[in-house]
Amino acid sequence: MSYQPSSKSTMSRKTYVEATKYAFNTSWFDKVADMDRQYVVNVFVETSEIEIFDVHRKNVFLKRCPFPELDLSKFFIGNAVVIHGRQHTITGWANEFTRAALSSTSERTCALIKPHAFSPRCVRDVLEQAKENGLTVARVQLSAMTEQAMMDFYAEHLEKPFFPQLAQMINEGPLMVFELIGQNAIQKWRDIIGPTDPAASDKLRNKYGQNVTKNAFHGSSSQKDAERELQIAFSLRPLFSEQKSSVILIQPKFQAKFGEILEDIYNFTSHYNLKVSGIHSADPVAADIDELFKAYQQVIPNYQQFCDLFDDGAVVALQLEGDDCINKSRELCGPWDPEIAKLLRPESLRARYGLNAVENAVFVTDIEEEAEIHSEYWFKCVE
């Protein structure tokens, strides 16, 4: 669910004292001290307020105060939330009440698109179905299974007669892994993809699966399996190319459009002899964002506002490679201002998805040296 700021009439029904309080353990990286600092963040949903306690000093860090942009749906374990300019990573529930109230609404599951089924259209269908069922994509990554990771991931099938075929299928190419979060996420995802045999239903497996082994998708069967599978899948390094490339970043605000944007990118690359060589979501710290964009500081309008957008959730990075990929990627993204893009490049990403010159949907590296730095950062350094 997404929280909407309360009206005055709603505010009057819940007083300052009565408002429901949810408490979260968080961590903030202090770059000056080179250390993680631990806090407890209390969230008051009905009154749209927040307060913060310093765990180490055992005192109030931020007194209870208005926080109009409060969105409770962003407060789940592992997510990063920006509070007054600081990026707090949610590390756990701070009390039993919060765990009991919210843990079922933020259940996690591991969702895979297997190599034979991976395509932009399939990704878009997955994301649309997840959204329709109230599931949020917390992480996404294009990877390849190592032999050990595959054996760990499918440990329960090692002795089964079909395991050699399963192993061969998983090694056929890249696979897309998602961490999905939401109420009853495990069962909802399994309902979305349908039974193991694609022919047994009209769900997504029927559309993209071929047989019981090549059935297009994987879904965790229990919370214990989900935790294990997510740990294995996201411990794999994301695929990326060491060749000359460009990097496109999707602003966190536009993650709901990821499937559509990805399909547009693949359509473009197929016509311009480019290849999508990497997809990886990450939660960068504000200091790194400022460092990465520094080369563009004099040319990006409203520079600080633009940088701040990348603090507000996961950033999806896509790496493109091919001849003249820098110029082609700039053409794909279009002019900086979406209004100008609509006139000059109406099919570009910024024309189709951008809102204004700050919230323009995507960033693209258009300096060759910077593209190498961005590839290194987004696909090797940050998680």
Give the annotated binding-site residues for ATP.
114, 162, 190, 196, 205, 215
β partners of residue 317 = 249, 280
C-alpha 9: how far from its chain's center? 35
User: What is the distance between the alpha carbons of residues 182 and 79, in angstroms, rounded to a whole number?
Assistant: 13
What whole-number distance in Å separates Cα of residue 111 and Cα of residue 178? 5
User: From CA 137, how far away is CA 268, in angstroms rounded?
Assistant: 24
Report d(CA 69, CA 87) in Å as an integer. Answer: 14
Please provide the size of the chain in residues. Answer: 383
Q: Tokens representing 282? A: 């990450």
Q: How many CA atoms lie within 13 A of 284 on its CB side?
A: 28
Sign of CA dihedral 133, 138, 139, 140: positive
Per DSSP, 274 falls in state: -
Residue type, 117: A
The CA distance from 360 to 52, in Å, is: 32
Q: What is the DSSP letter of 379?
A: I
CA distance 81 to 70: 10
Decide if 191 contacts 132 (C-beta within 8 A).
no
333: Cβ contacts below 8 Å, ≥ 6 apart: 248, 348, 349, 350, 362, 364
Distance (Å, rounded) from C-alpha 285 to C-alpha 86?
Answer: 9
Q: Quick one: tokens of 180?
A: 């999905």
Q: In this structure, are residues 114 and 174 in contact, taking their beta carbons and an 8 Å threshold?
A: no
Residue from 88, 218, 280, 374 carrying the catalytic annotation: 218
Handedness of CA 112, 115, 116, 122 (dihedral sign): positive
- The yes-or-no answer on residue 218 being catalytic is yes
Sequence ranges of the binding site: 114, 162, 190, 196, 205, 215
Task: Count CB-CB contacts under 10 A for residue 12.
Answer: 9
Query: Active-site positions?
Result: 218
